[in-house]
Amino acid sequence: MSLQTFLYFAYGSNLLKERLQLKNPSATVYCVAKLKDYKLVFGNYKGLASDRWHGGVATIEDSPGDEVWGVVWRMSISDLESLDNQENVMLGAYRPVELSVKTKGQDISCRTYIMNSCVYAQPSPQYLQVSHLFQLLRGYPEAFPGQLRDIVPPVCPGSSPGPPPSGTGTAPA
């Protein structure tokens, strides 16, 4: 990999190329990969729902034995600041981390983001629709076993069962 590029592991709304490339035009799909010993959860930074999503958004947390599937993007270093801004790093909502993901028997180091001060929340219907659109456009339903294909809210520990948000069925996150 060039010193002018970096790898970014996306597991939520940035699975959708059309969304990611709005502010990060250099992003190109590198591969599908899994992150071991983490799980996908939904929440809001300090319990505050964003004006954009109106509900919970994806983050990951340590969880031995679990795995999170996502897409690794190759991006120009010139898009790094834009990506950090999109993830609200300066506001403290997410923190960038370097993690190792597995693909085709190979481990690769990628940048990803983890929410700070996450308060669990139901996934936002709008957020689920963006992630569902990713699957429809990219045809990856088999590449994301369960985790992105079958999430039905609630996904938070200690939550009581409830129906999925209206119009989303069992849409992925």
> Which residues belong to the active site?
87
Q: Is 94 annotated as a binding residue?
A: no
User: Which alpha helices (DSSP H) does the chain contain, by range?
Assistant: 17-20, 80-86, 125-138
Q: How far from 127 is each of 30, 87, 99, 119, 165, CA to CA, in Å?
A: 23, 14, 24, 17, 11
11 annotated ligand-binding residue: yes
Q: Is 8 annotated as a binding residue?
A: yes
Tell me if 10 is assigned to a ligand binding site: yes
- Is 113 annotated to bind a ligand? Reply is no
Query: What is the three-state SS of the chain?
Result: CCCCEEEEEECCHHHCHHHHCCCCCCCEEEEEEEEEEEEEEEEEECCCCCCCCCCEEEEEEEEEEEEEEEEEEEEEHHHHHHHHHHCCCCCCCEEEEEEEEEECCEEEEEEEEEECCEEECCECHHHHHHHHHHHHHHCCCCCCCCCCCCCCCCCCCCCCCCCCCCCCCCCCC
- Has 49 been labeled as part of a binding site? no
Would the annotation count 13 as a binding residue? yes
The binding site comprises 8-13, 127
**Annotated binding site for substrate: which residue ranges?**
8-13, 127
